[in-house]
């Protein structure tokens, strides 16, 4: 019996479309084996702890192991390149953070283009810093500090965790927006001893790093770097209350290699956002100074793009060079 032409063409189209259907079915079954989350920081860091917290919850919800693979070095560039070169199948993910946005402009010889070569999956949280000064600084508020700095140009030492670090770019953004001159003093190890002794006078540090000394009166908090006040320091105003538009927060999220199936990204985004709504997860993130920020993949992608553009301007302003 001869097949009619229309029936034959329909069958042929079905056969041609089988690979796409197979890929789609495989994506819907995701995950069927362990998933790696590559982290650009060392074991025990806040980023590593967050990745393990989220990985454990994803393992519970999706029935496969989510294994954290720490690959510190080169300001997260080693970890990022490993993910960029991985198969786009959802089984290798990258814990992305502020350095990824900064590095796009800080380094001129990267072997990848972060925005082009990765696909946004989900935001996790943002982590505000705090502007803290040694008590020898007479300023009690951000406006008073600005006035003091303008009256003493180049005489205030600003500590950071190193060129291009979150603490550095937060300070450079402040300098750019208020027009003050401060000397940047980068540290490879902790800046706290020198800050407490007054050898450096100001820092834009993570809240967990300095909150104990702030509460003990050894440091004075002038403002937090988020646009709203932090639950950890509710009596400390946001810098944006006196410097409109100022914001310099650390943030974490997940990305995958470019061309990872949309179905896989959708599954991960749904499960991550569900985890971020869990009171236990919220409390654990809060202990690390974080505030959950559930987003769609597209919203997270736009956020990262905006951050990349923002910090490119700051890097140019501060003439920041990598070590």
For the chain, give every residue range classified as CATH 3.40.190.10: 128-241
Q: Say whether pLDDT at 193 is over 50.
A: yes
* Average pLDDT along the chain: 91
- Cα atoms in the Cβ-side hemisphere of radius 13 Å centred on 154: 0
The predicted pLDDT at position 108 comes to 85
CATH superfamily label, 128-241 = Periplasmic binding protein-like II (3.40.190.10)
Rounded distance between C-alpha atoms, residue 259 and residue 86, angstroms? 11
Read off the pLDDT of each residue in 74-98 and give the average, rounded to a whole number. Answer: 97
pTM score, whole prediction: 0.87
Rounded distance between C-alpha atoms, residue 94 and residue 84, angstroms? 9
Q: Identify whether the C-beta of residue 137 lies closer than 8 Å to the C-beta of residue 220.
A: yes
CB neighbours of residue 235 within 10 Å: 7
The predicted pLDDT at position 15 comes to 43
Q: Say whether pLDDT at 25 is over 50.
A: no
Q: Which of 19-23, 226-230, 238-242, 310-314 has the lowest mean pLDDT?
A: 19-23
Confidence of residue 199 (pLDDT cuts 50, 70, 90): very high
For the chain, give every residue range classified as CATH 3.40.190.150: 17-127+249-318
Q: What's the CATH fold of domain 17-127+249-318?
A: D-Maltodextrin-Binding Protein; domain 2 (3.40.190)
């Amino acid at each position: 019996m001869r097949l009619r032409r229309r029936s034959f063409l329909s069958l042929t189209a079905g056969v041609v479309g089988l690979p796409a259907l197979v890929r789609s079915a495989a994506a819907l079954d995701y995950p069927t084996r362990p998933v790696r989350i590559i982290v650009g920081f060392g074991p025990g860091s806040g980023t590593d702890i967050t990745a393990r917290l989220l990985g454990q919850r994803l393992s519970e919800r999706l029935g496969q192991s989510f294994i954290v693979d720490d690959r510190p070095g080169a300001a997260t560039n080693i970890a990022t390149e490993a993910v960029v070169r991985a198969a786009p199948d959802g089984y290798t993910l990258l814990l992305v953070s502020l350095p990824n946005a900064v590095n796009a402009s800080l380094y001129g010889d990267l072997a990848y283009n972060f925005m082009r070569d990765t696909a946004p999956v989900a935001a996790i949280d943002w982590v505000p810093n705090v502007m803290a000064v040694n008590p020898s600084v007479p300023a009690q508020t951000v406006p008073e500090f600005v006035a003091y700095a303008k009256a003493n140009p180049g005489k205030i030492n600003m500590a950071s965790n190193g060129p291009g670090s979150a603490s550095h770019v937060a300070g450079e953004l402040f300098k750019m927006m208020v027009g003050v001159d401060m000397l940047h003093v980068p540290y490879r190890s902790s800046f706290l001893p020198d800050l407490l002794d007054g050898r450096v006078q100001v820092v834009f540090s993570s809240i967990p790093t300095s909150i104990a000394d702030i509460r003990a009166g050894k440091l004075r908090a002038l403002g937090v770097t988020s646009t709203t006040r932090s639950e950890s320091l509710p009596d400390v105003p946001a810098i944006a209350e006196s410097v409109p538009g100022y914001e310099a927060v650390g943030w974490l999220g997940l990305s995958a290699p470019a061309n990872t199936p949309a179905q896989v990204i959708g599954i991960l985004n749904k499960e991550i956002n569900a985890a971020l709504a869990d009171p236990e997860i919220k409390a654990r993130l809060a202990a690390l100074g974080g505030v959950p920020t559930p987003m769609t993949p597209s919203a997270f992608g736009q956020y990262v793009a905006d951050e990349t553009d923002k910090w490119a301007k700051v890097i140019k302003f501060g003439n920041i060079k990598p070590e």
